[in-house]
Amino acid sequence: MNLRQVEVFRVVMTNGTTAKAAEVLHVSQPAVSKMIQELERSLGFALFRRLKGRLHPTPEGQLFFREVEFAFLGLAHLRGAAARIRDFGSGELKIACLSALSTNVLPRALKIFMARNPNIAVTFQARMSSTVRDLVASGQFDIGIVADEIDRTGVTVEEFARFRVAVAVPEGHALEDYETVRPQDLADHPFIALAPEDTTRREAEVTFQSMGVRISTVMETPYSTTICAMVAAGIGIGLVDPLTAEPYIGHGLTLKPFEPALHFRTLLITPPNRMASRHLQEFIGDLRETIWSGLPNWN
């Protein structure tokens, strides 16, 4: 089996007869019939039944045609990718990011990048940090932004940013008037916690234990975004990344500084042994320029 035989089969299926296929391919009808017969011999099953001089696809032929269509869609994608690479360099940018930065930092950076590079095809996914790491390590994505608790094997890692932890409280809450919130101030208030594997949560627990503070956890979630939504709904208070909380400020949520200072740390990861394209380097620059916009001045 070769690609030319498969192409001829596809044209026959699309046009219905070997005569029409021959016209499309600019070859003779016997040449088309010969290639179909050679393809059938190599596959080991008949693609058509020949009844009264006409070709009728067999069930096996119809199944094979479905797979051929998938393959040709892939070829069409390759042609498009090749054209983008020829005209615009890498032509495509695939970005994965932890949820906490997917609604603020990434949109701002992408707006700048895409205005400068309108013909670059961008794929973006917001996932858990462990999933982002797997997508980048497998080479499916060009860049990932993750929390620092990920497995660092199989990816190239550099520190991206550190954000000082803030306390998210519902508007009208007793802690809203505090200039600074301390661990002992959190006691006896319903608390929404990050997932146990989160590095910042573990550091906060060490702080609470060292000061003899008992926290009343009513909910756990891996996402700062979820904590913000629950706080805005009045369910409790929580420690959050201030960038994630930005859209909720003034909409049911208030941010307060937390002492002693704790930090969320994020990493920028790329596939190993892969040189960054010009467009990827540009995008990383845009990310770094936009990372601090929107943060409170005490961060």
| In the chain, domain spans | 3-87, 89-161+265-290, 166-261
Percent of the chain with pLDDT over 70: 94
What is the rounded distance in angstroms from the CA atom of residue 137 to the CA atom of residue 255? 36
The winner for highest mean pLDDT among 14-23, 81-90, 262-271, 285-294 is 262-271
Phi, psi of 153 (to 5 degrees): -70, 140
Q: Let me know if the fold of 3-87 is the same as that of 89-161+265-290.
A: no
Inter-CA distances, 73 with 10, 14, 15, 210, 287, Å: 12, 15, 18, 60, 33
Residue 86: its pLDDT value, please? Answer: 66
Region 243-253: mean pLDDT is: 90
Multiple choice CATH, 89-161+265-290, 3.10.20.30, 3.30.70.270, 1.10.1740.10, 3.40.190.10: 3.40.190.10
CA distance linking residue 33 with residue 45, whole number of Å: 15
- At 299 the pLDDT is 58
> 3-87 has which fold?
Arc Repressor Mutant, subunit A (1.10.10)
Which of 71-85, 146-160, 182-196 comes out lowest in average pLDDT? 71-85
pLDDT of residue 105: 87
Task: Indicate the fold that domain 166-261 takes in CATH.
Answer: D-Maltodextrin-Binding Protein; domain 2 (3.40.190)
Comparing 51 with 175, the larger pLDDT belongs to 175
Region 239-244 average pLDDT: 90
Question: Residue 100 has what pLDDT?
Answer: 83
How confident is residue 278, by pLDDT bands cut at 50, 70 and 90?
confident
Q: CB-hemisphere CA count at 13 Å for 217? A: 15
CA dihedral 59, 62, 68, 72 (to 10 degrees): -170
- Alpha-carbon span 46 to 29, nearest angstrom: 19
Instruction: Give CA separation, 12 vs 2, 27, 76, 276, in Å.
Output: 16, 13, 19, 43
Residue at 178: amino acid letter: Y
Say which range, 7-16, 135-144, 185-194, has the weakest mean pLDDT: 7-16
For range 276-293, the mean pLDDT: 86
